[in-house]
Chains A and B, each alone.
Chain A
Amino acid sequence: NAGVTQTPKFQVLKTGQSMTLQCAQDMNHNSMYWYRQDPGMGLRLIYYSASEGTTDKGEVPNGYNVSRLNKREFSLRLESAAPSQTSVYFCASTQGGFGYEQYFGPGTRLTVT
């Protein structure tokens, strides 16, 4: 039981390049989330998917898109990376809606030059 897994662990992009961050969970959770973590800013919600087939914007969605591919997988896409998107990205999941404990993946460290 791996919990929440994320790939890649590290990535360097040039400004304007695109990439997709992958996330998968094997806990049969319904809800999945993408956060970014910046020094001194804590964790900020980018997008979430309350259930398979639905996605909603969080606090900082600009510059990102998401896809809930199936119940297990939730991907985050940067269409045209900017230096301001340099951050550590975490995926998380919960059993149901927002009312349960949330479990995090190990993170993807992204640098945009």
Chain B
Amino acid sequence: GQQLNQSPQSMFIQEGEDVSMNCTSSSIFNTWLWYKQEPGEGPVLLIALYKAGELTSNGRLTAQFGITRKDSFLNISASIPSDVGIYFCAGRRLLNSGNTPLVFGKGTRLSVIA
């Protein structure tokens, strides 16, 4: 089935550093969502994007809907220990038949060294 390519797979960073991760697809998407998952919990929605070029922030998190509509980026500024977790991108295509179910990237595992 349709897959998103999410990179990097994992990151080890120092507290205070900025983080960037991205997702790409071979198909055009009309929605991009970014989630964070902590151990033993379900994914929690961080940011939703609906328009090409859209740039949206949620505190220290900023996400962008790529102009080509085939990619999206998530940035975390000034990382702190509680940023640790797995970050997932998810996208949705719009076909003639209507919207399709979300497809998910395989996640970026973020570790923050204090």
- For chain B, the bracket of interface size reads 20 to 34
Give CA–CA (A41, B9) in the complex, Å: 12
In the complex the two chains form, is B98's CB within 8 Å of A104's CB? Answer: no
In the complex the two chains form, is A106's CB within 8 Å of B41's CB? Answer: yes
Residues 21-48 of A, flagged 1 when their CB comes within 8 A of B and 0 if not, give 0000000000001000000111111001
| Total residues of chain A contacting the partner, CB 8 A | 23
In the complex the two chains form, is B48's CB within 8 Å of A101's CB? Answer: yes
Residues 96-111 of A, flagged 1 when their CB comes within 8 A of B and 0 if not, give 0111011111110000
In the complex the two chains form, is A105's CB within 8 Å of B42's CB? Answer: yes
Q: Tell yes or no: A90 within 8 A of B by CB.
A: yes
Please count the residue pairs between chain A and chain B whose beta carbons lie under 8 angstroms apart in the complex. 52
Instruction: Please tell me which one of the listed residues B45, B88, B100 contacts residue A43 in the complex, with CB atoms under 8 A apart.
Output: B88
> Residue on A with the closest CB to B2?
A59
In the complex the two chains form, is A41's CB within 8 Å of B106's CB? Answer: yes
The 8 closest A-B pairs by CB, nearest first: A98-B99, A104-B42, A42-B106, A43-B104, A42-B104, A59-B1, A99-B99, A104-B43
Besides A44-B104, A59-B1, A102-B102, 19 more A-B contacts (Cβ < 8 Å) are A4-B42, A33-B101, A40-B106, A42-B104, A43-B43, A43-B90, A58-B101, A90-B42, A97-B99, A98-B92, A98-B98, A98-B99, A99-B31, A99-B99, A104-B35, A104-B42, A104-B44, A106-B40, A107-B42
